[in-house]
Amino acid sequence: MQLYPLKLVTVVGEAVVMEDIAEKGIELGASGYTLSEVIGHGSRSARNVIDTGGAKTMKLEFVVPSEVAVEILTHVSHEYFEHYAIIAWLSDVSVVRGEQYTRRTGG
């Protein structure tokens, strides 16, 4: 079985901006994303107390080639880190059927 080395970009933070980030990720070259509701607490945590759209915490994941990963992380850190409770990280992953993640950028 062939495994493809790719990057996993994970963004965790306020639900209110997660869909925008997901759309932007697609625009920057990601072929898809996974969005899930999570529970957590952080240094700027002012959420998870009432079930409204803005109060939830969400986790957004992209599996992308490294250049797209860098673009997504740059976008998130420029646009959202200052005012929103958001964290983001990058990890190396080995992906089955990885060719479909690299289609859009041709990498």
Partner 1 sequence: MIALPPALLSVALPLVELLGVFSAEQFTRVLDSLERNLLTPIPLCFLLGIVCTRIHGGIKIPKELYLSIAIFLLMSIGFIGGHELAHEYHEHGVSTIWKPALATLVLGCVTPITSYVVLRYLGGMSIADSAGIAAHYGSTSAVTYAVANSFVEQTQHPANSFLPTLVTILECPGIAIALVLGAALSARERAQRSAATGKRAKESKLGEALYEVMTGQSIMLMAGLLVIGFISTLFMDPKGFQPFYDFFQSKGMLFRGLLCIFLLEMGLVAGERLGDLLKVGPFLVAFGIIMPLIHGFFGVWLGHLAGLNLGGCTVLGAIVASASYIAAPPAVRLTLPEANPTYSITAALAITFPFNIAFGIPIYFEMAKWVGAQ
Give me the residues that bind partner 1 (CB under 8 A), please.
14-17, 46-47, 49-55, 79, 82-84
Minimum CB distance to partner 1, residue 2 (Å): 42
For residue 19, give Cα distances in angstroms to 5, 42, 90, 98, 107.
26, 20, 19, 24, 26
Question: Would you say 51 or 92 has its CB closer to partner 1?
Answer: 51
Please say which residue, 3 or 23, places its beta carbon nearer to partner 1.
23
Tell me the Ramachandran region of residue 106: left when phi exceeds 0, alpha when psi lies from -120 to 50, beta otherwise. left
Question: For residues 9 and 85, which CB has a smaller minimum distance to partner 1 in the complex?
Answer: 85
CA distance 19 to 17: 6
